[in-house]
Structure 1
Amino acid sequence: MAVPAGKVPIFESAGQAVGFLRQQWRFVLTVAAVTAFAQAAAFLLLGVTLPFLVLIFFFAACAHAAFLARALDGPAPFDWKALLRNGARVFTAVGAIAFFMAIVGFMVFYIAMGVLIAPYQNEVKAAGEDQAALTQIMTQAVESQPGTLMWALLIGGLLLLLLTSRFYLAAPASVDCKRIVVFDSWRWSKGNMLRIVAARLAVLGPALALVFALQSLASLLLGAPAADPMQTAALIQANPIRFAAFYFLAGFIQLAFYGALEAGLAAFLYRGLRPAVPQPPAA
């Protein structure tokens, strides 16, 4: 990466992510298909349970690790043990970041609820421990102050985007260094957070729109109302095979476009921002 004055080149970074997908499309489609099939099979075997959720996230981590390894090192003989180890590292690193993000999200939620409830302090005191009354007060507070809730969601989303950009090098570093790397990413990305955000928006924003459109089309073709949680739950109960088919297509689309582009972008940024490895002195 040519990084003038230590700054991330936004459009070059986006172009490199697209270039990875264009050059490695056969590999990307293979990994996406295998991973989506494994996730759909896990749904049919386990249903919507905690083990299922853990398993599908681990499968996704393995796919991301496979993309990152290809982007960082190029083609290599398949080694399923190395894939599982890299997947476990990515899974752990992303899990640690998600835990940190959950703490930040809780803080934003706590502050937002304090602002929403402030005009209803007397009602809250009068309700005491009456859960039904407290729930009604909360509902009224949210419905009467939609602007406050919207601002809280926007601020929370912005913080999520900014903070995850500081940790954006954790996954490729974990694959490249063969160990779990989380907080080193914070140091390496110093001074480039906004440029990383811009690069992500430049390539992943359009990718997300494309994925949404294709998944919506798959939903229509298979009669799977994914936008309605109640109807989705009903479909899972009534026709799990049809939902599994939609789940496979949705996962395949997600990984083949968004997942591959994100891995290509993260790998390129990591190569440019990681510290240079000192070369041993010549004999």
Structure 2
Amino acid sequence: MPVVVVTDSTATLPADLAAEKGIVVVPLQVIIGAEVFDEGSQGATPALVAEALREFLPVSTSRPTPAALLEVYERLAAEGATEIVSVHLSAEMSGTYESAQLAAREASIPVLTVDTRQVGVATGYAAISAAEVAAEGGSADEAASAARARAEAAYSLFYVDTLEYLRRGGRIGAAAALLGGALAVKPLLQIEDGKVASLERVRTSGRALARLEELAVQDAGDRPVDVCVAHLSSPERAETLSAHLASRLEENLEGREVRCAELGAVLGAHVGPGMLAVCVAPL
């Protein structure tokens, strides 16, 4: 394994898919009250975070430390890796990328860090593209370039029932203009230049669902794409949207499924229950 890809748990990669692609996932942390949990099935789960938010418990998140990432890099070096590509969520949204940069300086083998300027599933697709290049014998530079290109081409949009959770976490970015009197509307948001930005305002959650579908289809155009629908405590709406997109984008998908996944605990802590997101990632 000369080139190994590392990413973080916000990439929303299923454990079996990460294992299949040889991607190493480093967890971020969720703090609920005074307790600290690693994000994952044995720690902070989406259900745990959603319940804490509903009960108005204090919920915050924390990046992995440079020391934690360096430990992963050194373990991989000891196992035979000669280069590492470390692919992470937007530096505008988290200090994880900075931790990776600091750890890379101390690593005993070359580590290329990639700021995807994305969050969630789009970061996951970038990591997958890097891993596929590495598996075909590509260099770390080529794998990192593939990750950046995939992330740049990806379209990430989402709906939240309320902007309150984004406001609490300070992640609202250019969407701040929607606060105040606009809280009565249902906001559609997008990731733009690494930040959360407003896209449209709709009056009902049903209308929001329809617009997510239309915008995803519009972005896909006639290109081959991967598509994922993510949600937090909203499985029925997510499955409905997934089914509609699978039907309308059948040619674009070329036999691939629309992945439907629950958003991880860290990102879930910042968007709140009821969130629905779509990522369209051209191949």
Instruction: Give the alignment's TM-score, normalised by structure 1.
Output: 0.31
- Structure with the larger strand share: 2
Instruction: Give the alignment's TM-score, normalised by structure 2.
Output: 0.31
Look at both structures and tell me which one has the larger radius of gyration over its CA atoms. 1
Which structure's relative contact order is higher, taking Cα pairs within 8 Å and 6+ residues apart?
Answer: 1
